[in-house]
Amino acid sequence: MEKPETILVVDDSADTVEMLRRNLASRGFAVLTATSVTQAVKVLETAQVGLVVTDIKMPDIDGFSLMRHIRENYKAIAVLAITGFPTIDGAIRAMKTGAEEYLIKPFTDEELFSAVDRSLRRLRLTQRTHTRTIMPERCGLVGESPAMMAVFDAIARAASSTATVLIQGESGTGKELIARAIHYNSARARFPFVAVNCGGIPESLFESELFGYVKGAFSGATSTRAGFFQTADRGTILLDEISEASLAMQVKLLRVLQEREISLLGSSKPIKVDVRITAATNRDLYDHTLKGLFREDLFYRLNVITVSAPPLRERQEDIPLLAEHLLGVISEKYDRRPPRFSEEALEVMRQYSWPGNVRELENLIHRLTAMCTSDIIEIPDLPPSMRFSATCNSGLSRTLSQVEAEYVRDVLASVGGNKSTAAKILGVDRKTLREKLRKTGD
């Protein structure tokens, strides 16, 4: 017999929790419970949970925050969101935040069971595609090109040390996946991975979000709250888009890197933190230091190990593999049998320059999966800009007069510029040749 799946039920109402616990246990599931997000986060740290069933509206911290925490830290946990206040926006937000399913109160036992089954099945399907095409320790990073092999080597080296890592690369090249892979292959894998978008936090909130605050630190600080660094304790933090941190923020980050301690806002007592620091940027950070936009001392503290995420155009040979991998994952999300790419369509995709890198490829495949009705994706299904750049590269887009002009020039060159000989070879008289040369500007 397979081990029963463990479900964590989270709801601020103890009655609802008990009702769900009884129902799910009667179906053979192992059930854990929590009546707040904080409690749920603690349970997740120690228990092997397969599915979290969570209420959305809860006092203090809501279900969305829990979903985000799960998506950022536990790829293998499915989420079923429950709400008593249905709105379309809420449903869309729940799905975007990472819920596999969404259930509206009140619901029957049958509705609950089938939603639980669907959530678990979805998750297993995505896990299967992951293990089918990639090794689990690569955390979703696909590629066999020499450029990606170098990345996998760098990840392995970084994972076996505790040094700070700077991940550089263009937008959409997988920098966040690389940071996750480093964490999940390191000795810290059992502890949280916390990604912080330095560009997304307003300057005024930066300190309280990163370092937390004590009750009464400012008006509105009604209780003491942990910051990202404490949440990531014993785990790994990713300071994403580090180039966006202001100079004032950089000073505060430098202190953490040097002292390995933080102070909660409103408290003067420093607290030791044990966090592996990784940072990512799509800017040339060294160039930023030269321009005075980034502190040089912070740059050197961050840049102990560097990992470069290669753009897609430098690993074109990975495109068919990536496209197939993404088609599998995305089709299963849409409950579709994955279509195939025709050889020609794949060739066009290989030739394209992919300014948006893997994210652009992923978006394209989302659109193709949603819109393509046949089993095979052909060249006409691809966006016009991609088809256009392909014809430019293949040399098949020249007009007849362009070809003629080139041929005339070649012939003329081959006879040392002698116009009468060239005219003879071309089968025209000298006047016609002169006409043609005038038209092409020679």
Ligand X SMILES: Nc1ncnc2c1ncn2[C@@H]1O[C@H](COP(=O)(O)OP(=O)(O)OP(=O)(O)O)[C@@H](O)[C@H]1O
Binding site for ligand X (CB under 6 A): 140-143, 169, 171-177, 280, 282, 309, 322, 358-359, 362
The distance of closest approach from Cβ of residue 180 to Mg ion in the complex, given in angstroms and rounded to an integer, is 11
Report the partner that residue 143 touches, choosing among ligand X, Mg ion, none (CB closer than 5 to 8 A by kind).
Answer: ligand X
55 Cβ contact list (under 8 Å, min separation 6): 10, 11, 12, 13, 16, 63, 82, 83, 84
The distance of closest approach from Cβ of residue 8 to Mg ion in the complex, given in angstroms and rounded to an integer, is 28
If the CB atoms of residues 139 and 422 are measured against ligand X, the closer one turns out to be 139
Report the partner that residue 169 touches, choosing among Mg ion, ligand X, none (CB closer than 5 to 8 A by kind).
Answer: ligand X
Report the partner that residue 72 touches, choosing among Mg ion, ligand X, none (CB closer than 5 to 8 A by kind).
Answer: none
Report the partner that residue 185 touches, choosing among Mg ion, ligand X, none (CB closer than 5 to 8 A by kind).
Answer: none
Report the partner that residue 97 touches, choosing among ligand X, Mg ion, none (CB closer than 5 to 8 A by kind).
Answer: none
**Partners of 30 in the β-ladder:** 6
Of 184, 233, 171, 232, give the one whose Cα is nearest residue 361: 171
The distance of closest approach from Cβ of residue 281 to ligand X in the complex, given in angstroms and rounded to an integer, is 8
Report the partner that residue 328 touches, choosing among Mg ion, ligand X, none (CB closer than 5 to 8 A by kind).
Answer: none
95 Cβ contact list (under 8 Å, min separation 6): 102
Reported for 184-188, long-range contacts at CB under 8 A and 24+ positions apart, including other chains, are 184/137, 184/139, 185/137, 185/139, 185/155, 185/156, 185/159, 186/158, 186/159, 186/160, 186/162, 186/236, 186/276, 188/234, 188/235, 188/236, 188/276
Residues 142-201 that bind Mg ion (CB under 5 A): 176
Structure letter (DSSP) for residue 104: E
Of 105, 59, 43, 45, give the one whose Cα is nearest residue 80: 105
If the CB atoms of residues 157 and 409 are measured against ligand X, the closer one turns out to be 157
Position closest to Mg ion via CB: 176
If the CB atoms of residues 174 and 235 are measured against ligand X, the closer one turns out to be 174
Which stretches within 171-246 are classed as H helix?
Answer: 175-184, 203-211, 228-231
If the CB atoms of residues 172 and 235 are measured against ligand X, the closer one turns out to be 172
The distance of closest approach from Cβ of residue 262 to ligand X in the complex, given in angstroms and rounded to an integer, is 25
**Quick check: 256 and 213 in contact, CB under 8 A?**
no
Question: Given the structure tokens 């509705």, which residue do they identify?
Answer: 111
> Whole-angstrom Cα distance, residue 238 to residue 359?
19
If the CB atoms of residues 174 and 339 are measured against ligand X, the closer one turns out to be 174
**149's tokens:** 């092999």
**Quick check: 361 and 312 in contact, CB under 8 A?**
yes
The b/e string for 33-72 (b: 16+ C-beta within 10 A; e otherwise) is bbbbbeebbebbeeeebbbbbbbbebeeeebbebbebbeb
The distance of closest approach from Cβ of residue 183 to ligand X in the complex, given in angstroms and rounded to an integer, is 13
Position closest to ligand X via CB: 174
The distance of closest approach from Cβ of residue 32 to ligand X in the complex, given in angstroms and rounded to an integer, is 29
**421's tokens:** 């000989």
The distance of closest approach from Cβ of residue 4 to ligand X in the complex, given in angstroms and rounded to an integer, is 31
If the CB atoms of residues 115 and 322 are measured against ligand X, the closer one turns out to be 322
If the CB atoms of residues 7 and 141 are measured against ligand X, the closer one turns out to be 141
The distance of closest approach from Cβ of residue 166 to Mg ion in the complex, given in angstroms and rounded to an integer, is 14
The distance of closest approach from Cβ of residue 198 to Mg ion in the complex, given in angstroms and rounded to an integer, is 11
Report the partner that residue 207 touches, choosing among Mg ion, ligand X, none (CB closer than 5 to 8 A by kind).
Answer: none
Report the partner that residue 171 touches, choosing among Mg ion, ligand X, none (CB closer than 5 to 8 A by kind).
Answer: ligand X
234 Cβ contact list (under 8 Å, min separation 6): 188, 191, 192, 274, 275
The distance of closest approach from Cβ of residue 210 to Mg ion in the complex, given in angstroms and rounded to an integer, is 18
Report the partner that residue 421 touches, choosing among Mg ion, ligand X, none (CB closer than 5 to 8 A by kind).
Answer: none
277 Cβ contact list (under 8 Å, min separation 6): 164, 165, 236, 237, 239, 256, 257, 302
If the CB atoms of residues 98 and 143 are measured against ligand X, the closer one turns out to be 143
If the CB atoms of residues 158 and 423 are measured against ligand X, the closer one turns out to be 158
The distance of closest approach from Cβ of residue 291 to Mg ion in the complex, given in angstroms and rounded to an integer, is 22
Provide the 3-class DSSP secondary structure of residue 380.
helix
Report the partner that residue 279 touches, choosing among Mg ion, ligand X, none (CB closer than 5 to 8 A by kind).
Answer: none
**Quick check: 354 and 311 in contact, CB under 8 A?**
yes
Burial (Cβ within 10 Å: 0-12, 13-18, ≥19) of residue 3: exposed
> Whole-angstrom Cα distance, residue 32 to residue 47?
9
Report the partner that residue 309 touches, choosing among ligand X, Mg ion, none (CB closer than 5 to 8 A by kind).
Answer: ligand X
Q: Is residue 381 a contact point for Mg ion (CB under 5 A)? A: no
Residues 80-119 that bind Mg ion (CB under 5 A): none
- HSE-up (13 A, CA, CB side) for residue 340: 3
If the CB atoms of residues 322 and 412 are measured against ligand X, the closer one turns out to be 322
If the CB atoms of residues 71 and 260 are measured against ligand X, the closer one turns out to be 71
Binding site for Mg ion (CB under 5 A): 176
